[in-house]
Each structure stands twice: as structure tokens, then as C-alpha cells.
Amino acid sequence: MVNTASRCGFTPQFEKLESLYRQYRDKGLVVIGFPSNDFRQELQTNAEVGDFCRSTYGVQFPMVEKSSVTGDGANPFFRQLASSTNEAPRWNFHKYLIAPDGRTVHSFQTQVEPDAPAVMAKLQPMLRK
């Protein structure tokens, strides 16, 4: 799970997210993007977001509708992720890795690249053989 924004300095992380998705989707990885304008860097409409992600970064992984991911107005899913990890997104491209058991959740700050060794060390044991 990753909160995204189209006009952020970290937007190029879409490339690595899509690469991981393509490489590991047959082994059980699902990447889901949650566009958010909480940090004032997202396009206006869901259609604009979808068009941008597909045309600029070739994104094929699922993207949900724009929603808030921080504070009292955060969508319930992100509130639960923040609660279970004690880490709410502080910026765009905060990543949560949810284990197949649905209970184990790892949180990675914005600066951690999607394919960073810390992420891969948690992800690889979760993948189907």
C-alpha cells in the first residue's frame, strides 16, 4: 500500500513500484496506490491521476480513488495501517507492506525506495515460490 501524488519529488518511485508489481505479481505481490492530496501535490480528478500514472509511468497496478491518508479525515484503511504500525504517512509515497496473514504490517518512510534492501528483506519471504 502506498499513498501517491502526481506532482511530488518522489513521484518517480512509480517506476520501481510498477517494476516490483510486474516482477512479483505472479508470486502474490499486489501493489495498491492511494492517491492523496493531503500534501497538496495531487491532480484534481481521479481520471487525471489515472491518465498521468498510466501515460507517464506505465502504471498497471491498482489505484483507488483519491482520499485522505492522514489525520481525522483519513480513510479507515490508512487509519488502521497507521494504528497497527504507529506510523502515519508524513509525506507522499509512504509504503506499508502487509504480510499474507493480514496481521503483520511493515512501514517504510517516503525516502525508502520500493526496492530498497530493507523492503526486499521483508517482501521476499512473503512471496509464493
pLDDT digits 0-9 by tens, 58-115: 999 999 999 999 999 999 999 999 999 999 999 999 999 999 999 999 999 999 999 9
> Which listed residue (1, 2, 8, 81) is catalytic?
8
Phi, psi of 34 (to 5 degrees): -115, 90
Among 84, 47, 89, 53, smallest CA distance to 70 is for 89
Percentages of the chain per state (helix, strand, coil), in multiples of 5 = 35, 10, 50
Say how far apart CA 54 and CA 42 lie, in whole Å: 15
pTM above 0.85, yes or no: yes
Say how far apart CA 13 and CA 9 lie, in whole Å: 9
According to DSSP, residue 105 is labeled E
Q: Residue 55's pLDDT is what?
A: 96
Instruction: Assess whether pLDDT exceeds 90 at residue 48.
Output: yes
Determine whether 53 is an active site residue: no
**78: its cell numbers:** 490508512
129 confidence band (pLDDT: 50, 70, 90) = confident
Beta-sheet pairing, 105-108 with 95-98: antiparallel
3-state SS class at 20: helix
